[in-house]
A and B are shown apart, each in its own frame.
Chain A
Amino acid sequence: MAGKYLGQRLKRNEDPRLLTGQALFVDDVQLPGMLHAAFLRSDYAHAWIKSIDPSAARQHPGVVAVYTAADLGKIWKPGPLNVPPPSGIPGVVFNQRTQVPMAKDKVRHQGEAVAVVIAESRYIAEDAAAEIVVDYEPLEAVIDLEKALGEGSPLLYEDLGTNLASFVHQENGSYAEAAARADLIVKTHIVMERGTAAALENRGYVASWDNKSQSLTMWATTQGPIALRNGLATILGLSEHQIRVIAPFVGGGFGPKILLYQPEEIVVSWASLQLGRPVKWIEDRQENFGDTSQERRQIHEAEMALTRDGKILGVKDVFIHDTGAYNSYALTIPLNTQTHTTGPYKVANYLTEYRVVFTNRILVTPLRGAGRTYGTFVMERLMDKAAKRLGMDRTEIRRMNMIQPDEFPYKTGIVGQDFAKNVLDSGNYPAALDKAKEMIGYEAFLKEEQPRLRAEGKHVGLGISFFTEGSGVGPYEGARITVEASGKVNLSTGVGTQGQGHFTSFAQVAAEQLGVDPKNIFVTTGDTEAFHWGAGTFASRGATVAGSAVNAAALLVRQKILKMASKILEAPEEELELADGMVRVADIPSRCISLAELAVKANPSRGAVEPGTEPGLEATAYFGPPYGATAYGCCAMIVEVDPDTFNARIQRLVMAHDCGTVLNPMILEGQIHGGVGLGLGNSFFEKLEMDDNGQLQNASFMDYLIPRASDLPPIEIAHLHTPSPLNPLGIKGVGEAGAIPIPPAFVQAVEDALPEYNLEISEAPLSPNRLFQIVQAAKQA
């Protein structure tokens, strides 16, 4: 439903500021008298803290304060859960252990904060932190997920008596019954790792307590400024209106910045209150590897029961999930895995069960893809294996098991991250499969090009995989829109923004209703003083939920405009049109009034008004979906493997993608490009290498490899448009799309490029080294 503005390929309003260095990021905040914090972090993954001696650091010139857990008083306690465990699933085990502001008695991961130095400069603070003496009694680290659950494993929480954080079992239909009548059962053991978000901007906070106004201003790299304000008010014992949280421009969120009650948020704001001076903490990259949440390993034992003609009868998936030292974000990731494993396929009998394990590593919380990536990998690997065993074309077995366009809404029967049984709202999955095949030239590649390349000694393979992306979950978001007397429009919403283009896409939504150039719509996101209701930017929900709220508010303002203009222009509302910042009588363009003039009239300054008059061309509206909309797509790629070095390179990548109504195709493509980059990282580059003692071996970008521009292939995208019935604009989310289907397509393409070894790859990420080892093993087998 492209309109004059909505759906147009507009350049982003915010880019001139960003590209010329004029945009405000947290580290740009400079305040008179500002102090700097540096945290002393544990080198040990698991140790008792026998004592901490900060006396030398306190004497260090330029140091204002040194605090440990013992100094925090009543502030020190495990933080609240960000998300509760799911209701509606019988037998759920959830052992709650949330992050603490600084470690007391015990450290549970390398990088956990044990003390903070507040000083006149960051240099001084770091020098003094090095002078704090901590006496540790090291303990054996819990790193291996399977050993962690075994007899005699050391325990993170002695009082719990186990490292089991959670257990969840769900079943729709009966897998046992399906397996009993199956012609074929394929089984696989999958180990999949993800990694760190590697946002361009690390976390950072500036907290400024003003004694005279008795108010705290906090600039924060958060994805959830309103939730942060509310949380800080509770923790610090302030009223919510005493705290203003500003999430200015943020250089990438990807999930870890939605996590609330992070130790530094609490300590930095509390320190400002104690000292009556602004305090800044900017996370450095080395810290980020040890103190910002990650997404890591799942180990799956999965099987699929099929008929001999390839119809899926059932799927069983039992997996282990690493939550790290805490589970503050409860079960969102493994729930997403459970609801996304079956993806676009009809699986009448589905058993899914997992255990979540505490380990001596930084906590795990959603990272772009958020559990969907593992589930998609498992299912697509099972599909490939089944296709091979049955001698079927890999795309045909997928097609014949897909949910058909007339079968929506489709109930999977499995409870997901919004605690309701998952429903896929709409789509045309076979069309996306066809489109991706057409774009990559599926038949021609396999029949002609691949044999030709093979004859030239080139090892080139094709990979294709399908995915769904549950998105746009509740609860709600809101927006307020005001037409000013200048004719310009103010738009405020509660979500934070981390590069998604909200300053443009939200403006396009409002512009479509108000007939105003999006350049004249000034969008404010992430400032609790501008808008103070909402949840935040996560789960690919900004466009869907906040965008729908913007649309609703714009409609209300439009109604106000039409009502007023109808009186002034003496024409019925139906005959009026809004365009170019004017209201016009459709057939008589000279009979018109500008929105600016209307805005003046809407704010009477003298005299009486009609009873019930609300001033201003302004409205506030909220939107909450009944459940999340599910986007989907099909990715295909051509990968060349160097048979000498085992380096692999994606030569081409296509994505047929459907997220319903598109607000701005260029922004949408940018989202997919970025997601593909992360997906490629999860396929071939990114792995957090942890030794048995819990020491991260690659805590820098020298050794932790993220895909760079030179690693990314050309990406071709086709948009399909199946509007979601769950919101008036028909939007679905896209933020995580690119990150989900890349690993299964990549490993399938690698197998296809090296047919002589008949590889069966059941892990991601690969690396040249790992691929060499896999090929060596296959040679020997």
Chain B
Amino acid sequence: MKPAPFDYYAPASVDEALDILSEKGYDIKVLAGGQSLVPSMNFRLAQPPALLDLNNIPDLAYIKPAPDGGVVIGAMTRDSDVEHNPMVAERFPVILQAMPFIAHPQIRNRGTFGGAIAHADPAGHLPAVTLALNARYHIRSKNGDRWVGCDEFFLGPFTTAMEPDELLVEVEIPALPARTGTSYHQMARQAGAQALVGVAAVVTLDPGERVAAARIALLSVGETPVLAGRAAASLAGKLLTPETIEAAAEAAATVDTDPGGDIHCSPEYRRHLIRVLVAKSLEEAGERARGKRG
């Protein structure tokens, strides 16, 4: 379990990193926290000719308030720094709710917020959480920069809308409206193991406690993190009752997703988990949204 030979670049600035990316493009792989990439290199599943190590660029690690009440998180911010940040805790408790399920504390000390999103693992927690939170991603290349919304970012397993010369530099999460509740639930076989299904729900209620907006994002149910649009739509303008929640959960399990199976989880069991976890998340998000009223 030794990696194949590779060249190694460790630039000290983003500009320098973008120069190297523009030159190497397809022949270089970005190394952030390394918690997914390095094991796959040791298995020789990944054999990149070169690595671009971002760990010497301190400018990419920060958590800043956004003017609208959201936050901006630099791509190289360690998961554990996000996990222990009071502003994130206050504004986006769903991020904190998901954090303990990301492997183990040692891994969160190295793993990065941006790395997890750029890696685009369909079983990753942070792609789904930022999808539920309607985040957008700031991408730079030598030739300029652009923002990509979460709905357009994830294209397939480990595949994003970024070009080979582009680098994810920060993630912006917009403020949540008033009367918004969030919830995160997952099922994994043991602490730190990969989630068989995970659900992040963000529910906004109107003053009459009817659903004004809902975003339900699922992980480990398809080739990308999946936004359960039909489930959310089924709730629009409705009170959250056991019946409406069950109908939404059913839509998530049967219309929004067509889950496959693996050695830990048959398609039927996965559908079952989607039902119970979506229902649980909606119920909890609704309660929290009501709790914030007035």
Give, as a whole number of angstroms, the nearest-CB distance from A61 to chain B: 11
Measured between beta carbons, the chain A residues less than 8 angstroms from B43 are 286, 700
Interface centre among A644, A645, A698 (most CB of B within 10 A): A645
Using Cβ atoms and an 8 Å threshold, which residues of chain A touch B2?
122-123, 126
Interface pair A769/B264, CB less than 8 Å apart: yes
**How many residue pairs between the two chains, A and B, have CB atoms under 8 Å in the bound complex?**
62
**Is B236 part of the contact surface with A, judged by Cβ < 8 Å?**
no
On A, residues with C-beta under 8 Å from B are 122-123, 126-127, 130, 284-287, 644-647, 685, 689, 697-698, 700, 702-703, 705, 707-708, 710-711, 767-769, 772-773, 776
B76 within 8 A of A: no
**Which B1-21 residues sit within 8 Å CB-CB of chain A?**
1-2, 4-5
Among B181-195, those with CB < 8 Å from A are 187, 189-194
Measured CB to CB, the residues of B under 8 A from A are 1-2, 4-5, 39, 43-44, 187, 189-194, 196, 263-266, 268-269, 272-273, 276, 280
Contact: A644 with B194, CB < 8 Å?
no
* Cross-chain pairs A/B with CB under 8 angstroms, 9 sampled: A123-B5, A130-B44, A286-B43, A700-B43, A703-B263, A708-B192, A711-B191, A772-B266, A773-B266
Q: Which of B2, B187, B265 has the most CB of A within 10 A?
A: B2
Which of these, A126, A685, A698, A768, contacts B269 with CB under 8 Å?
A768
Closest 10 CB pairs of A and B: A284-B1, A644-B276, A710-B191, A689-B263, A772-B269, A645-B187, A123-B2, A769-B269, A126-B2, A697-B263
Which of B39, B272, B280 makes the CB contact (< 8 A) with A772? Answer: B272
When the two chains form their complex, are residues A698 and B268 in contact, meaning their CB atoms are under 8 A apart? no
Give A229 to B280 CA distance when docked, in angstroms.
61
- The minimal Cβ–Cβ distance linking A623 to chain B, given in whole angstroms, is 42
A126-B2, A685-B189, A685-B190 known; A644 vs B280 contact (CB < 8 Å): yes
Name A769's contact: one of B4, B44, B266 (CB within 8 Å): B266
> CB-CB < 8 A to B272: which residues of A?
772
Question: Nearest-CB distance from B108 to chain A (Å)?
Answer: 15
Q: Is the CB–CB distance between B268 and A776 below 8 Å? A: yes
Question: Which of A127, A698, A708, A769 sits near B190, CB closer than 8 Å?
Answer: A708
Give A122 Cβ to nearest chain B Cβ, in Å: 6
What CA separation (Å) do A711 and B193 show in the bound complex? Answer: 12
List of A residues within 8 angstroms of B192 by Cβ = 708, 710
Q: State the CA gap A774–B263 with chains docked (Å).
A: 16
Contact between B190 and A705 (Cβ–Cβ < 8 Å)? yes
- The answer to whether B263 and A698 touch across the interface, beta carbons within 8 angstroms, is yes
Q: Which of B1, B44, B189, B191 contacts A768 (CB 8 A)?
A: B189
Q: Which residues of A contact B194 (CB under 8 A)?
A: 702
Contact of A707 with B190 in the complex, beta carbons under 8 Å: yes
Q: How far is the CA of A768 from the CA of B268 in the complex (A)?
A: 12
Inter-chain contact A647/B187, CB cutoff 8 Å: yes
What's the minimum C-beta distance from B7 to chain A, rounded to whole angstroms?
Answer: 15
Which partner residue on chain B sits nearest A689 by CB separation? B263
- Determine the distance from Cα of A138 to Cα of B181 in the docked complex, in whole angstroms: 57
Please name all residues of chain B whose beta carbon is closer than 8 Å to the beta carbon of A123 when the two chains form the complex.
Answer: 2, 5
A286, B42: Cα distance in complex, Å: 10
Q: Are B263 and A647 interface neighbours, CB within 8 A?
A: no
Q: How far is the CB of B59 from chain A (nearest CB, A)?
A: 33
Which of B5, B191, B263, B265 is A127 in contact with, Cβ under 8 Å?
Answer: B5
Check if B276 sits within 8 Å of A767, measured CB to CB: no
Q: A39: shortest Cβ distance to chain B, in Å? A: 12
Q: Which of A130, A702, A703 contacts B4 (CB 8 A)?
A: A130
In the assembled complex, the Cα of A703 lies from the Cα of B43 at a distance in Å of: 14
Q: Complex Cα distance A776/B44, Å?
A: 40
* B1 and A769 within 8 A (CB): no
Closest Cβ of chain A to B184, distance in Å, is 15
Which of A685, A698, A772, A773 has the most C-beta atoms of chain B within 10 angstroms of its own C-beta? Answer: A772
Chain B residues lying within 8 Å of A711, measured Cβ to Cβ, are 190-191
Complex CA gap A647/B273 in Å reads: 11
B-side contacts of A772, CB under 8 Å:
266, 268-269, 272
Note all chain A residues with C-beta closer than 8 A to B1: 284-287
Residues on A with beta carbons closer than 8 Å to the beta carbon of B191: 708, 710-711
Residues of A near B189 (CB, < 8 A) are 647, 685, 705, 767-768
- Can you name the residue of chain A whose Cβ is closest to the Cβ of B265? A769
